[in-house]
Amino acid sequence: MSSESSVLRVLRCAPTHLDHRRVLKDVLPFSAFLTDSFERRHNYLRISLTEKCNLRCQYCMPQEGVTLTPRSHLLTAEELLMLARLFVREGVNKIRLTGGEPLIRPDVLHIIAELRKLEGLKTIAVTTNGMNLTRLLPSLKKAGVDLLNISLDTLVPAKFELITRRKGFHKVMEGIEKAIEMGYNPVKVNCVVMRGLNEDEVIDFVSLTERKPLDVRFIEYMPFDGNRWNFKMMVSYQEMLDCLKQKWPNLEPVPGEETDTAKGFRVPGFRGQLGFITSMSEHFCGSCNRLRITADGNLKVCLFGNSEVSLRDFLRSGATEEELLHIIGAAVGRKKKQHAGMFNISQMKNRPMILIGG
């Protein structure tokens, strides 16, 4: 008997426990299944649509590449939408589609259009490398995409090719301009900052926000399998902030929501803004409201944790929605107070970023 079947058998024989959690769900204003032991409510779900990507970014994919999961082991559109419906019913109101590169999945527009029909889902976001964005943007907007995050780590075409191991800088810039033209405001630009590669460009990136409705987010370099992370390459939030304040002493903080991942700032008079995602130097685990489903159907409750639960296997073993909820609830309930710290994370076995969902 498979482990999934054994778990389902236990669940089906435990009506008292099921009833208890059902009562909790009825009483609490937010789903007990998506609330962890530290009372963090998880209303934001990131779903990876594919492990494939048309770039090979150094911080995301190992130089030797990755072994892709067989197609039969990946979530189908129907399975993905079934899980999305379940999470939204329990209180998730924001879904972000990631990859790999989500826009290379052939049925991405169908998936977005079906997500848009979910009552209670307020926001559909997409994180993309921008390579296919210009061509797909009209259809993405029509299908219902509310927010766009575009990855761009340099403003120098030759350096773009060095970081991504591919050509395509001008395609990405064209995609950013097209998103602005089509009314996305702000357009978020994600920039992973690495010493010796692009830390000298932070001022140039912020200068883009003077006349464009961009939210440039500087991300501290994070350790994942195969990206050869080392502490010396990490540029901390404080170091970047100090650099920018030398250029703009009047840089001012921007108030944000409690669950925001970025510390926001703005140069007075500039149209856009900037932010820092400080996962390494100043973690924000205490306000984390995010869960992840990988392309092969595993639930990750923490980006840096190596504990995963295969929702795909339970789905394909015939689990009911109620049983899936308890499996999800158990995983969320085991979520730790905070991640293990950058040095411990760098020694832990975890997926490469491309197989998690960047």
The CATH number of residue 71's host domain is 3.20.20.70
Is residue 21 situated within a structural domain? no
Number of Cβ atoms within 10 Å of the Cβ of 173: 17
Measured CA to CA, the distance from residue 240 to residue 303 in angstroms comes to 23
Is pLDDT above 70 for 223? no
| Segment 333-353 mean pLDDT | 62
Token code pair at residue 307: 């504990």
Is residue 8 situated within a structural domain? no
Exposed (0-12), middle (13-18) or buried (19+): which is 349, by Cβ within 10 Å? Answer: exposed
Q: How many domains does the chain have?
A: 1
Measured CA to CA, the distance from residue 121 to residue 87 in angstroms comes to 10
C-alpha to C-alpha distances, 352 to 41, 97, 182, 277, 348, nearest whole angstrom: 27, 18, 33, 19, 12
Is residue 232 situated within a structural domain? yes
* pTM assigned to the model: 0.87
C-alpha to C-alpha distances, 349 to 219, 223, 269, 293, nearest whole angstrom: 21, 10, 45, 18
C-alpha to C-alpha distances, 1 to 5, 6, 317, nearest whole angstrom: 6, 7, 11
Determine the residue type at 24: L
Is pLDDT above 50 for 194? yes
Instruction: Find the domain containing 260 and state its range.
Output: 32-355
Is pLDDT above 90 for 65? no
Which residues, including other chains, have CB under 8 Å from residue 235's CB and lie 6 or more apart?
193, 194, 195, 199, 220, 221
Torsion angles phi and psi, residue 355, rounded to 5: -90, 0
| Segment 212-217 mean pLDDT | 98
Contact present, 342 and 237 (Cβ < 8 Å): no
According to the model, what pLDDT value does residue 27 have? 43
Is residue 202 situated within a structural domain? yes
Is residue 23 situated within a structural domain? no
Is residue 18 situated within a structural domain? no
Q: What is the overall mean pLDDT for the chain?
A: 87
| Segment 177-184 mean pLDDT | 98
Is residue 76 situated within a structural domain? yes
